[in-house]
Structure 1
Amino acid sequence: MYKFYDEVQELIDELQQTYGIKKSSLVFYKGRINKFFNDYMSQEYKDKPLNAITYYDINTFINKLPFGDAEKLNHYNSLKRFFDYTYLKKLTPELMSQVTRPEYQRPPKKILSDEEYDKLRDFIVCRDNNIKERLILGLFLFTGLSRMYIGAIVNSQFIYDRGVYKLMILQEGEVVLPLKAELQLIVHEYINSLTDDDNLKKVVPYDQNYISTYIGRLTTQILGKKHNPTTLSSTFIRKALSNGNYVWEVSKLTLESIVTIEKHVINSEDIFNRQTSILNRF
């Protein structure tokens, strides 16, 4: 075992508190940081103090990982977070600028084609089709919310306020989201079809594992091609960004992290032009 393992754990805890890292993100970082100290430093370097670790140690560890470039990059990012922090605390020298960053070209997010989007939208807004199917498809295509949120919605979470419908999501408290005009019409039609006994029933009467199967079946029937919930949500995010909205706004609308939304940005030149425009407004 690495001699200074306890010190490393204390530093990880400090890192989390200093930067307010979410628990889910902490799991991402902590497991990979600890792998470096458990698998690499605990061998012939177990007595080596933190301030004696070199960029060569980190490079060697990453290069020997039995993973693809994507996971090697995850380890690099985790260790960079840790050693940048130890450098700020003057516990280690600056290391990460000398570490080779793994090259990984992230594949583009899968989204619907314009033709598929229009065809699915036509199905959703057509009153001749099944209201339940239209609503569930509409929630994915017109909100960008993930399966986790949509699968948990109960009927009473649709709120009618000042002539419009809104959606309340329970996420460490209550978050109230506006709804797209097309979706509001469908929600209105759906709510009017319910009885008082339906208020606490789930909108999607399936467990989360089956939701993907359900969406796949519906999209196959409508489009002749199977798509999963993530593709529908990603299509919403891409369209929201392409219409000039900011990453932060889309993040708050879809309840996804800014990092997740940024992965949908594909035109770096457009970002630069918008940044320049912001700077020239004042």
Structure 2
Amino acid sequence: MVDICTRFCLLRPLKDKRAATVVFELVKVFSDFGYPTKLGMDNGSEMKNMIMKLLCESMHIDQRLITPYKASSNGTSERWVQSAKLAIAKSVEGAGHQWDLFTPGKNVMSYEQLIERIDVMSDVVFPAIMDKTNAYVDNMKDKFDKYKNIVKDFEKGAPVMVRFPTLKGSLTPSYMGPYTIVRKTKGGSYVLSDETGLLMDRDYTPSELKAISQDNILNEDDGNHIYEIEGILDHRGTGSNIEYKIRWKGYSQEEDSWLRPEMITHEHIIQQYWRRKLGKDYKP
């Protein structure tokens, strides 16, 4: 067994490779040194079994198995296996058939060496890693800030326009709206409402929104009223002279009226009409 951080290695003789024997010895080692948060192992039956799984689950250990048939993914352990064999061969002095009598338990690193290694890790290695990480993060932040626009938070009640995900034509508007910011979600997206106060059916990311001035919004106090369209019934004219017959939501057919496209705030209503009528998108 080897600690990846300090490379501290423990050797314990086992009478067999049964799952219960391996787990029993692991519990003894963990009781002396503390239980780990992660435990890497190969896919052998002595490691990958129900007893080992229960141990890891009960002690909240993250059990990680290496890639099958790829010993190089467990290179640290394989290297220490080679070193352990050399240490055992030196200890038994030729009595290989009685190795367990000569090596009841052996640490490839002494306790004093372990304490010294821990001090070095705490005083030198970990601070160096932290400094290197902070320098890398600062460098990436500078690169990001240099080439990217930082999107500020939109205030509640602020008017915004929503960008179309794809443009259907060169003369198609890039944005639709206006909408009003209702709130910001925990994920950083925004809940919007339309002119009638109806909440939109999905949230929008900051990159999809563009803030606009309140002066660009029609004000009902100035005599400008906003009505909700139930649907487009028909059209007349062509090109720049085209008009649409509008059915207003909450009004009868006697109140139907003809409007030019620029008087309809939501361009997708027009696109929906042409998709239903022609089976394709409308390109002005």
User: For the superposition of Structure 1 and Structure 2, which TM-score range results when normalised by the shorter chain?
Assistant: under 0.3
Question: Could you state the TM-score of these two structures normalised by the residue count of structure 1?
Answer: 0.18
Taking structure 2 as the reference length, the TM-score comes to 0.18
| Bigger share in strand | 2
Could you say which structure has the higher helix fraction? 1
Report the structure number with the largest CA radius of gyration.
2
Higher relative CO (Cα under 8 Å, sequence separation at least 6) belongs to 1
